[in-house]
Amino acid sequence: MKRKIITWIIKQLMLLFTRRDVSGAENIPSSGGAILAPNHLSMLDAPLIVISIQRQDITAMAADKHRKNPFLRWLIEAMDGIWLNREEADAQAIRSALDYLKRGHVLGIAPEGTRSRSGVLLEGKNGVAYLADKAGVPVIPVAVWGTETGFAEVKRLRRPTLHLRVGKPLTFPPVERREREAALQRNTDELMCQIAAMLPEKYHGAYTGHPRIAEIRAEG
Protein backbone atom coordinates (compact mmCIF):
# COMPACT_ATOMS: atom_id res chain seq x y z
CA MET A 1 0.00 0.00 0.00
CA LYS A 2 2.85 2.40 0.89
CA ARG A 3 4.49 1.77 -2.48
CA LYS A 4 1.25 2.50 -4.37
CA ILE A 5 0.73 5.76 -2.50
CA ILE A 6 4.30 6.89 -3.14
CA THR A 7 4.06 6.01 -6.83
CA TRP A 8 0.78 7.92 -7.12
CA ILE A 9 2.26 11.01 -5.46
CA ILE A 10 5.35 10.90 -7.67
CA LYS A 11 3.17 10.56 -10.76
CA GLN A 12 1.04 13.58 -9.82
CA LEU A 13 4.13 15.71 -9.20
CA MET A 14 5.71 14.64 -12.48
CA LEU A 15 2.50 15.36 -14.40
CA LEU A 16 2.26 18.77 -12.78
CA PHE A 17 5.84 19.93 -13.24
CA THR A 18 7.11 18.05 -16.32
CA ARG A 19 6.19 16.74 -19.74
CA ARG A 20 7.04 13.13 -20.64
CA ASP A 21 8.05 11.65 -23.96
CA VAL A 22 7.98 7.87 -23.47
CA SER A 23 8.15 5.00 -25.93
CA GLY A 24 8.94 1.30 -25.80
CA ALA A 25 7.44 0.64 -22.36
CA GLU A 26 5.66 -2.36 -23.91
CA ASN A 27 9.08 -4.04 -24.25
CA ILE A 28 9.12 -4.72 -20.52
CA PRO A 29 7.79 -8.25 -19.82
CA SER A 30 4.58 -8.30 -17.79
CA SER A 31 6.06 -10.89 -15.44
CA GLY A 32 9.34 -12.57 -14.57
CA GLY A 33 12.70 -11.31 -13.40
CA ALA A 34 14.50 -8.69 -15.47
CA ILE A 35 17.11 -5.97 -15.11
CA LEU A 36 16.27 -2.44 -16.28
CA ALA A 37 19.55 -0.82 -17.28
CA PRO A 38 19.28 2.96 -17.83
CA ASN A 39 21.93 5.58 -18.34
CA HIS A 40 22.01 7.90 -15.32
CA LEU A 41 21.90 11.68 -15.66
CA SER A 42 19.79 12.94 -12.75
CA MET A 43 17.82 12.15 -9.62
CA LEU A 44 14.77 12.51 -11.90
CA ASP A 45 15.69 9.34 -13.84
CA ALA A 46 14.26 6.92 -11.28
CA PRO A 47 10.85 8.59 -10.78
CA LEU A 48 10.49 8.98 -14.55
CA ILE A 49 11.04 5.25 -15.02
CA VAL A 50 8.82 4.20 -12.11
CA ILE A 51 5.78 6.10 -13.37
CA SER A 52 6.30 5.15 -17.01
CA ILE A 53 6.12 1.36 -16.74
CA GLN A 54 3.33 -0.96 -15.67
CA ARG A 55 5.27 -3.26 -13.36
CA GLN A 56 4.59 -2.57 -9.69
CA ASP A 57 7.48 -4.73 -8.46
CA ILE A 58 10.38 -2.60 -9.67
CA THR A 59 13.08 -1.49 -7.28
CA ALA A 60 16.68 -0.35 -7.66
CA MET A 61 20.12 -0.56 -6.14
CA ALA A 62 20.94 2.66 -4.30
CA ALA A 63 24.28 4.02 -3.11
CA ASP A 64 24.90 3.83 0.63
CA LYS A 65 25.59 7.59 0.72
CA HIS A 66 21.85 8.25 0.39
CA ARG A 67 21.28 6.70 3.83
CA LYS A 68 22.52 9.99 5.31
CA ASN A 69 19.49 11.81 3.92
CA PRO A 70 16.51 10.88 6.13
CA PHE A 71 13.92 11.48 3.40
CA LEU A 72 15.80 9.57 0.70
CA ARG A 73 16.49 6.73 3.13
CA TRP A 74 12.79 6.45 3.97
CA LEU A 75 11.77 6.68 0.31
CA ILE A 76 14.27 4.10 -0.95
CA GLU A 77 13.43 1.62 1.80
CA ALA A 78 9.69 2.13 1.24
CA MET A 79 10.28 1.14 -2.40
CA ASP A 80 12.27 -1.96 -1.31
CA GLY A 81 15.55 -0.48 -2.57
CA ILE A 82 18.76 -2.47 -2.16
CA TRP A 83 21.62 -0.56 -0.52
CA LEU A 84 24.99 -0.82 -2.25
CA ASN A 85 28.41 0.12 -0.90
CA ARG A 86 30.27 1.30 -3.99
CA GLU A 87 33.58 1.49 -2.13
CA GLU A 88 33.96 -2.29 -1.92
CA ALA A 89 32.70 -5.57 -3.32
CA ASP A 90 29.35 -5.62 -1.51
CA ALA A 91 28.53 -9.34 -1.28
CA GLN A 92 25.36 -8.74 0.72
CA ALA A 93 23.97 -6.34 -1.90
CA ILE A 94 24.78 -8.81 -4.67
CA ARG A 95 23.00 -11.63 -2.81
CA SER A 96 19.96 -9.42 -2.22
CA ALA A 97 19.88 -8.39 -5.89
CA LEU A 98 20.12 -11.97 -7.12
CA ASP A 99 17.38 -13.07 -4.72
CA TYR A 100 15.10 -10.27 -5.89
CA LEU A 101 15.64 -11.18 -9.55
CA LYS A 102 15.23 -14.92 -9.00
CA ARG A 103 11.90 -14.26 -7.27
CA GLY A 104 10.68 -12.81 -10.56
CA HIS A 105 10.95 -9.08 -9.91
CA VAL A 106 12.41 -6.14 -11.84
CA LEU A 107 15.62 -4.52 -10.65
CA GLY A 108 16.92 -1.21 -11.95
CA ILE A 109 20.70 -0.79 -12.14
CA ALA A 110 22.63 1.94 -13.93
CA PRO A 111 25.41 0.13 -15.82
CA GLU A 112 27.66 3.20 -15.57
CA GLY A 113 27.73 2.66 -11.82
CA THR A 114 27.09 6.29 -10.94
CA ARG A 115 25.45 9.47 -12.19
CA SER A 116 27.22 11.10 -15.13
CA ARG A 117 28.40 14.53 -14.03
CA SER A 118 29.39 15.34 -17.61
CA GLY A 119 25.89 14.66 -18.95
CA VAL A 120 27.09 12.02 -21.43
CA LEU A 121 27.59 8.25 -21.32
CA LEU A 122 30.37 6.96 -19.10
CA GLU A 123 32.07 3.62 -19.71
CA GLY A 124 29.83 0.80 -18.55
CA LYS A 125 30.88 -1.43 -15.68
CA ASN A 126 30.38 -5.20 -15.74
CA GLY A 127 28.00 -5.43 -12.78
CA VAL A 128 24.78 -5.63 -14.80
CA ALA A 129 26.20 -8.31 -17.12
CA TYR A 130 27.40 -10.29 -14.09
CA LEU A 131 24.02 -10.19 -12.31
CA ALA A 132 22.14 -11.04 -15.50
CA ASP A 133 24.33 -14.10 -16.00
CA LYS A 134 24.05 -15.29 -12.40
CA ALA A 135 20.29 -14.73 -12.18
CA GLY A 136 19.53 -15.95 -15.71
CA VAL A 137 17.38 -12.92 -16.56
CA PRO A 138 17.18 -10.59 -19.58
CA VAL A 139 18.56 -7.06 -19.54
CA ILE A 140 16.37 -4.25 -20.85
CA PRO A 141 18.34 -1.23 -22.12
CA VAL A 142 16.81 2.13 -21.22
CA ALA A 143 17.78 5.58 -22.53
CA VAL A 144 16.92 8.71 -20.58
CA TRP A 145 17.67 12.32 -21.44
CA GLY A 146 16.36 15.77 -20.61
CA THR A 147 16.40 14.90 -16.91
CA GLU A 148 19.84 16.47 -16.47
CA THR A 149 18.33 19.96 -16.80
CA GLY A 150 14.94 19.13 -15.32
CA PHE A 151 15.35 20.72 -11.89
CA ALA A 152 16.89 23.87 -13.37
CA GLU A 153 13.98 24.22 -15.79
CA VAL A 154 11.40 23.82 -13.03
CA LYS A 155 13.16 26.52 -10.99
CA ARG A 156 12.72 28.82 -14.00
CA LEU A 157 9.00 28.00 -13.93
CA ARG A 158 9.23 25.92 -17.09
CA ARG A 159 7.97 22.39 -17.65
CA PRO A 160 10.89 20.36 -19.00
CA THR A 161 10.32 17.49 -21.42
CA LEU A 162 11.82 14.27 -20.06
CA HIS A 163 12.57 11.59 -22.62
CA LEU A 164 12.50 7.84 -22.02
CA ARG A 165 13.14 5.04 -24.50
CA VAL A 166 12.89 1.36 -23.58
CA GLY A 167 14.67 -1.13 -25.83
CA LYS A 168 13.91 -4.77 -26.43
CA PRO A 169 15.16 -7.29 -23.83
CA LEU A 170 18.68 -8.60 -24.36
CA THR A 171 19.41 -12.22 -23.48
CA PHE A 172 23.14 -12.86 -23.31
CA PRO A 173 24.63 -16.35 -23.74
CA PRO A 174 25.88 -18.02 -20.53
CA VAL A 175 29.32 -16.80 -19.46
CA GLU A 176 31.93 -19.54 -19.39
CA ARG A 177 34.51 -19.38 -16.62
CA ARG A 178 37.52 -19.62 -18.94
CA GLU A 179 36.58 -16.42 -20.76
CA ARG A 180 34.62 -14.74 -17.99
CA GLU A 181 36.09 -11.24 -18.09
CA ALA A 182 36.09 -11.02 -21.89
CA ALA A 183 32.49 -12.24 -22.10
CA LEU A 184 31.25 -9.85 -19.41
CA GLN A 185 33.00 -6.95 -21.14
CA ARG A 186 31.53 -7.97 -24.49
CA ASN A 187 28.02 -8.09 -23.01
CA THR A 188 28.53 -4.75 -21.27
CA ASP A 189 29.70 -3.10 -24.50
CA GLU A 190 26.63 -4.45 -26.32
CA LEU A 191 24.33 -3.11 -23.61
CA MET A 192 25.94 0.34 -23.65
CA CYS A 193 25.76 0.52 -27.44
CA GLN A 194 22.09 -0.44 -27.31
CA ILE A 195 21.50 2.45 -24.89
CA ALA A 196 23.56 4.84 -27.01
CA ALA A 197 21.61 3.90 -30.14
CA MET A 198 18.44 5.24 -28.49
CA LEU A 199 20.09 8.48 -27.33
CA PRO A 200 20.77 11.63 -29.36
CA GLU A 201 24.39 11.58 -30.50
CA LYS A 202 25.46 14.39 -28.18
CA TYR A 203 24.97 12.01 -25.24
CA HIS A 204 27.16 9.18 -26.61
CA GLY A 205 30.19 10.20 -24.56
CA ALA A 206 32.61 7.27 -24.12
CA TYR A 207 30.85 5.42 -26.97
CA THR A 208 31.01 8.22 -29.54
CA GLY A 209 31.73 6.74 -32.95
CA HIS A 210 31.40 3.12 -31.82
CA PRO A 211 30.59 1.10 -34.99
CA ARG A 212 28.06 -1.10 -33.18
CA ILE A 213 25.77 1.91 -32.62
CA ALA A 214 25.36 2.41 -36.37
CA GLU A 215 24.70 -1.31 -36.81
CA ILE A 216 21.95 -1.28 -34.18
CA ARG A 217 20.29 1.75 -35.75
CA ALA A 218 20.46 0.11 -39.17
CA GLU A 219 18.77 -2.98 -37.70
CA GLY A 220 15.90 -0.74 -36.63
The domain locations on the chain are 2-219
Domain 2-219, CATH class in plain words: alpha beta
Q: Which of 148, 141, 79, 149 is nearest to 112 (CA)?
A: 141
User: Residue 166's CB: how many other CB atoms inside 10 A?
Assistant: 23
73, amino acid identity = R
* Percent helix, percent strand, percent coil in the chain, to nearest 5: 50, 15, 35
H or E stretch covering 60: strand 58-63
Could you tell me the pTM of the whole model? 0.94
- pLDDT reported for residue 1: 66
**How confident is the prediction along the chain (220 residues), in pLDDT tens digits per residue?**
688 899 999 999 999 999 999 999 999 999 999 999 999 999 999 999 999 998 989 999 988 888 889 999 999 998 889 998 877 778 999 999 999 999 999 999 999 999 999 999 999 999 999 999 999 999 999 999 999 999 999 999 999 999 999 999 999 999 988 899 999 999 999 999 999 999 999 999 999 999 999 999 999 8
Q: Residue 37: phi, psi to the nearest 5? A: -120, 90
Contact 109, 128 (CB under 8 A): yes
Q: Which residues contact 196 (CB under 8 A, 6 or more apart)?
A: 121, 143, 203, 204, 207, 210, 213
CA distances from 208 to 38, 105, 116, 154 (A): 17, 33, 15, 30
Would you say the C-alpha torsion 165, 163, 11, 150 has a positive or negative sign? positive
User: Residue 168's CB: how many other CB atoms inside 10 A?
Assistant: 13
